[in-house]
Chain A
Amino acid sequence: MLSNLALRAVSLMTFSGWVASVAGWYVTEIGRQPWIVQGLVSTTEVVAQHPSATLAGTLFGYVGLYIALMIAYMKALRIMAVKPAKSLEEDSNPLGTPLVGTAA
């Protein structure tokens, strides 16, 4: 049996897949600079000539959106993690209440 402390540590592994993909993506994209195609085409050669205000605006738009969605995602994960435990205490159904909704 795992101790409570160990269980808490293991629960943090929830985010390991997410951290791994973001870290992997970051390493490829940043690590390849200044190239966009390694050794063949540099990023400055092909970047679109948008005004910097446009680029800054869309960049902050994406970052803001993803931060908001990440918060929603972590809250939803928490709700889903807590839910079955609650139903175990209150319901006679040992499997808990199935989630009803759309499969996406």
Chain B
Amino acid sequence: MSEALPLFFVSAMGLSLLLYVILDGFDLGVGMLLPFGTDAEKDTMIASIGPFWDANETWIVMGVGVLLIAFPKAHGIILTALYIPVTIMLVGLILRGAAFDFRVKSADHRQPMWNKLFALGSLMASMAQGWMLGAYITGLTGDAVSVAFSILISLTLPALYIMLGGAWLLIKTEDELFDKAAHWCRLALPPMAFALLLVSIATPLVSQDIADRWFKLPDAIGLLPIPMSCALAILGMDWMLRRPAVLHAGYGWFIFVGLMVICLMAAIGLAYSIYPDIVIGRMTLWEAAAATESLQFIFWGAIVTLPAILGYTLYVHRVFSGKATELSYE
């Protein structure tokens, strides 16, 4: 039991963060795309994420919450090292959350300002998260390589989120906005694919440990499905985005599924790279784990909370399935 509990919690944390990237990724992406829509389209774009966005953010609270209670020593190291990007992310998320309401409740002439702040907050949060991921993968060392890598990923992650946002709009919108979303996806795909490739090349270069794990035989053969399915997903999305007729026939959701495959594969790849470390090169998840008694106690909380969040996430997607319409309090 004492062996299995840290594994359970690290899995719960990984799952939460993967779901966070996919789910909040699309609403942050829609936020960054907001400046490119007309005023009426902006309202539809916001309405398309209205019922979902705050539930999406519970996943990062869950992920960081598990890090704090199950791996307190790692939480101290990671969150201290990431103090500045975390602050930037929080400011971004606060601006976004406030702009959600104020853009419709403040004076009319202020609406453009709140729309801009909404987009700015989304961009700040996305770039800060990229920075954190980059810093984390390079072992939180803060040296020149780590900083360069963090910058690289802070530019990559927004491209992925913009793509997720465009794909979400393909599911949720119609007519002109639908065509615009397809256009945005077409524009975002090459930088996203290029950035993904760069990160895949840079990660083993930055860390010898990670390189050794990926390039030794026979393990390398077993790992092939990860890059291959990513490549297939990118080619498939590219194929479909060039065929508006296929998108209009109701297959737009395929783009979102392709992106989910990429996120899942990236998560598996990352887990494979760093296991059993929780702070790369410094601390394993066993060393960072809280006392077994504490883990046993919060285990019961986790097995109630996780299905509850999963449940309401699925429920809200079922209730608000279909195309977004003008939301009103009528």
* A binding-site residues for B, Cβ under 8 Å: 46, 48, 50, 54, 58, 61-62, 65, 69, 72-73, 75-76, 79-80, 98-104
Contacts and interface: CB of A to CB of B under 8 A. Distances in A.
Interface of B: 43, 46-47, 50-51, 53-54, 76, 80, 83-84, 87, 91, 94-95, 97-98, 100-107, 326-330
Given A76-B106, A79-B105, A100 B80 contact: no
- For chain A, what secondary structure do more than half of its interface residues adopt (helix, strand, loop), or is it mixed? helix
12 contacts: A46-B76, A48-B76, A54-B83, A99-B105, A99-B328, A100-B326, A101-B43, A101-B103, A101-B104, A102-B104, A104-B54, A104-B100
Contacts of B330: 98, 100
A61 B90 CA distance: 11
Contacts of A69: 94, 98
B106 A75 contact: yes
B42 to A, nearest CB: 11
Give 5 nearest A-B pairs by CB, closest first: A101-B104, A102-B50, A48-B80, A100-B328, A76-B105
Given A103-B329, A104-B100, A104-B101, 7 more contacts: A48-B76, A58-B84, A72-B106, A98-B330, A100-B326, A101-B329, A102-B47
A38 B95 CA distance: 33
Contacts of A50: 80, 83
Contact of A100 (B97, B101, B327): B327
Contacts of B53: 104
Contacts of B107: 75, 79
Contact of A76 (B87, B102, B326, B328): B102
A102 B87 CA distance: 27
B109 to A, nearest CB: 11
A101 B327 contact: yes
A58 to B, nearest CB: 5
B104 A61 contact: no
A54 B84 CA distance: 8
A45 to B, nearest CB: 12
A65 B91 contact: yes
